């Protein structure tokens, strides 16, 4: 998926809201684009859409393949998903509910299918998309007036249930050495830009004291 800076004049509620902070918006587009590059885009798309379903993020779901969304609603019973995809979806659901409570079993199951570097990059890419969906859900951003159909990524070749030898469920511990440098750079820049934002106007600040 190609992420572009939003335009307030497009008539889209999402574009209007994110366009209020163009510097943050541009960095958000950057981090989502990099997330697509450092992780399996098909796996990431499935998990992002499932998290968006749990949150009710309407703007994130608009344009998605209807049959995929139906399978994701009941992914545990659906024959469509591989063991690899089920492991990722289980991790993603718990990450959304409370990432502190992700079990060792869930980490172990996913690490069987992702090598340490893939594991770390997937988790951080998931983090970026989950944060984006949370904003869409929190503000109840409406779908774009004419949402373009989202590309349905193909599964990676031979990735259905591929077992990665040497995978380590505790790869998160050395995340900064394993995380893709491009993602780390844009993540830090985005965090700094968000911190610099003035989120409460002066009138509200004075009236609250």
Q: What is the pLDDT of residue 162?
A: 61
| Dihedral sign of CA atoms 106, 65, 138, 136 in order | positive
Task: Report domain 8-207's class.
Answer: mainly alpha
Q: What is the pLDDT of residue 5?
A: 45
Residue with tokens 């929190």: 138
Q: Which of 86-100, 123-137, 160-174 has the lowest mean pLDDT?
A: 160-174
pLDDT in tens, 96-119: 999 999 999 999 999 999 999 999
Domain ranges of the chain: 8-207
Q: What is the pLDDT of residue 4?
A: 45
> End-to-end alpha-carbon separation of the chain, Å?
46
Q: What is the pLDDT of residue 205?
A: 47
pLDDT in tens, 148-183: 655 556 666 555 566 564 445 454 456 678 999 999
pLDDT band (50, 70, 90) for residue 12: confident
């Amino acid at each position: 998926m190609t992420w572009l800076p939003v335009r307030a004049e497009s008539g889209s509620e999402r574009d209007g809201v994110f366009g209020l902070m163009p510097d943050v918006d541009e960095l958000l587009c950057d981090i989502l684009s990099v997330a697509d590059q450092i992780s399996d885009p098909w796996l990431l798309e499935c998990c992002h859409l499932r998290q968006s379903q749990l949150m009710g993020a309407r703007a994130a779901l608009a344009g998605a393949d209807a049959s995929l969304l139906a399978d994701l609603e009941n992914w545990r019973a659906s024959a469509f998903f591989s063991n690899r995809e089920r492991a990722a979806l289980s991790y993603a659901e718990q990450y959304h509910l409370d990432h502190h409570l992700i079990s060792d079993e869930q980490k172990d199951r996913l690490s069987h299918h992702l090598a340490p570097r893939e594991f770390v990059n997937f988790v951080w890419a998931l983090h970026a998309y989950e944060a984006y969906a949370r904003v869409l859900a929190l503000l109840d951003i409406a779908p774009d007036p004419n949402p373009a159909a989202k590309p349905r990524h193909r599964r990676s070749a031979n990735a259905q249930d591929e077992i990665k030898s040497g995978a380590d469920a505790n790869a998160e511990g050395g995340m900064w050495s394993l995380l893709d440098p491009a993602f780390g750079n844009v993540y830090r820049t985005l965090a700094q830009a968000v911190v610099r934002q003035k989120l409460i106007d002066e009138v509200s600040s004075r009236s609250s004291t």
